[in-house]
Amino acid sequence: MSFKESIQLNTQLGYFEGEIPVNYQYTLGIAGTKFFETLMNEGQFVASECKTCGVKTIYPLIYCEECFSAIDTYVPVGLEGELYSFTKCYRDYQGKEYQTPHLIGLIRFEGIKGGIIHRLGIDDKEVHIGMKVKAKLKPAKERNGTLEDILYFEKS
């Protein structure tokens, strides 16, 4: 290999610029549409419920991961859960330092498989695994059926 340790930039080696010139419009899917429409219109979470084996899953699915039955039943879950784990993050995905560190948590719901990962609006001296938390949503008229309809999870 002719890699030269002294060279720091590809531009010094002879190069062509390139890119993949596309962006993406991901559909929510059948179960995702149910979840985000309910969040937007009713201000709460739903899980999918398998009528064959009883497993409930969040985010919902149109099929049961356990027994592979088709699912078209969705049950309300409310907005309250329990903090399963958390982290305090200092830099973004491009390595840039956040102005204020971000607190991110994984929230689980009683009797439900899966969970929601989101920002935490909790003082970092108070945050701890197992604490009860509740989603703080945008006001109803500002919601548009996306993950950003959830502002953060706070102490409940």
Partner 1 sequence: MGYRKVAIVGAGITKFVRRAQETGPEMAYLASKMALDQAGLKLKDVEMITLGSAPDAFDGVHMKGEYLLSGAGGNNKPYIRNFVGGGTGVFAPIHGWIHVASGACDVCLVVCSEKMSSCHPHPQGAFLTIFDHTTEQPLKPTLIWIFALEMRRYMETYGLSKADVARVAVKNKNNALDHPSAQVAEAVTLEDVLNSEVLAEPVNRLDISPASDGAAAVVLASEDVAKRLTDKPVWIDGVGWNLDTSYWATKDLYYPRYVEKAARMAYEMAGITEPHKQIQVAEPYDPFDYKELHHMEGLLLCERGEAARLTAEGYTARSGNLPTCPSGGALGVGNPIAATGLMKVIEIFLQLREEAGKRQIPGKPRVGVAQAWGDLMQVGTVIVLRR
Q: Any contact of residue 31 with partner 1 (CB under 8 A)?
A: yes
Q: Which of 25, 94, 100, 144 contacts partner 1 by CB under 8 A?
A: 25
Q: Any contact of residue 53 with Zn ion (CB under 5 A)?
A: yes
Q: Any contact of residue 83 with Zn ion (CB under 5 A)?
A: no
- Using DSSP's 3-state secondary structure scheme, residue 117 falls into strand
Cα-Cα-Cα-Cα torsion 132, 38, 63, 53, nearest 10 degrees, comes to: 50
Q: Any contact of residue 114 with partner 1 (CB under 8 A)?
A: no
Tell me the window of 16-24, 65-73, 100-108, 145-153 that interacts with Zn ion (CB under 5 A): 65-73
Query: Is residue 81 classed exposed, middle or buried when 0-12, 13-18 and 19+ CB atoms within 10 A define those classes?
Result: buried
Distance between CA 118 and CA 152 in Å, rounded? Answer: 6
Tell me the window of 63-71, 97-105, 109-117, 120-128 that interacts with partner 1 (CB under 8 A): 63-71
- Return the half-sphere exposure (C-beta side, CA atoms, 13 A cut-off) of residue 76: 8
- Sort residue 78 into left (φ over 0), alpha (ψ -120 to 50) or beta: left
Tell me the window of 21-29, 52-60, 95-103, 144-152 that interacts with Zn ion (CB under 5 A): 52-60
Q: Which of 29, 43, 114, 145 contacts partner 1 by CB under 8 A?
A: 29
Residue that is written with structure tokens 């899966």 in the block: 114
Choose the contact partner of 65 out of Zn ion, partner 1, none; CB within 5 to 8 A by kind. partner 1
Cα-Cα-Cα-Cα torsion 107, 113, 78, 87, nearest 10 degrees, comes to: 0
Residues at the contact surface with Zn ion, assessed by CB under 5 A: 50, 52-53, 64, 66-67, 69
Residues at the contact surface with partner 1, assessed by CB under 8 A: 16, 18, 20-33, 61-63, 65, 67-68, 70
